[in-house]
Structure 1
Amino acid sequence: MNTGLTLAATLALAAATGNVMAAPTETGRREIASLIGALDGSSCRFQRNGSWHDAAEARAHLQRKYDYLLKKDKVDTAEQFIERAASRSSMSGQPYRIACPGQPELTAASWFGARLQALRTRGSAN
């Protein structure tokens, strides 16, 4: 049996059925790390399932969720990280919230989305 042909056929079948797994690009990994770092480096609090957590606890939680999604090949981009890990509890479905001193409380999806936009704006200015 020609293993090269078998591999090519398997990849073609996977592509046709949408089962091709993709890993985050270097840009995606860098953006996700920056988003997690932005929360960890802040004095903001993170609400999860009705309880408030400090930034270090939030970072550890989000890093665990991100690592899990990576193992399952379910996160390729910063947008997917925000949607699948940083927006809501996968157990209860409740949205996460972020409260920073002197600023209005936001959903985590809004907070991370704004950070991603700022990160990309700064990146395009270089």
Structure 2
Amino acid sequence: MKHRLWILVSALFALSPLAYGSEIDKETKQEIQHLLDYVGESGCKYERNGDFHQGEEAVEHIQKKYDYFVDDIETTEDFIAKSATQSLISKKKYMIHCPQQDAVPSGDWLLEELDRYREQQSSQTQ
């Protein structure tokens, strides 16, 4: 009897979402991909710890952090906060430097773009 109970408990845990981390829904994945594309195509420089990176390098770095934190990400805002906002080691905020504009924190910049994207998606579905 104890053996059967142990098998049942083990099977239930294996099927539990906690065993595999959270699953990111399709809409959130699309938003994240849009933001990665936006970083890569923006023409802006991404500043990390005083070093400047072009879009493709920035995307590679953000993607690595995203892959590392994927189990802790449920929303696009989580993605921004955990993968694209600040250095894990120095805690310095990442900054975005776009031509003819003042530098801004990357988290603010990405949240603004996320708002624009969501508004655009909402208007397309109406």
- TM-score range, shorter-chain basis? 0.7 to 0.9
Number of aligned residue pairs: give it. Answer: 119
Higher helix share: 2
SS of residue paired to 1:98: strand
Runs of 4+ in 1 over 6 A off after TM superposition: none
User: Which secondary structure state, in structure 2, belongs to the residue aligned with residue 89 of structure 1?
Assistant: coil
Who is 1:32 aligned against?
32
1: distance between equivalents of 2:8 and 2:108? 47
Q: Where does structure 1 lack aligned partners over 5 or more consecutive residues?
A: none
- Residue deviations 1:54-73 (CA, integer Å, cap 9, x gap): 11110110011111112xx1
Give the greater-gyration-radius structure (CA).
Answer: 2
Task: From 72, 81, 84, give the equivalent of 1:83.
Answer: 81
With structure 1 as the length reference, what TM-score do the two structures score? 0.84
SS of structure 2 residue aligned to 1:47: strand
**Could you say what the CA RMSD is over the residues aligned between the two structures, in angstroms?**
2.2
- Give the partner amino acid of 1:94: K
Instruction: In structure 1, give the amino acid aligned to 2:111.
Output: G
1: distance between equivalents of 2:94 and 2:122?
Answer: 29
Q: CA deviation at 1:42?
A: 1.3
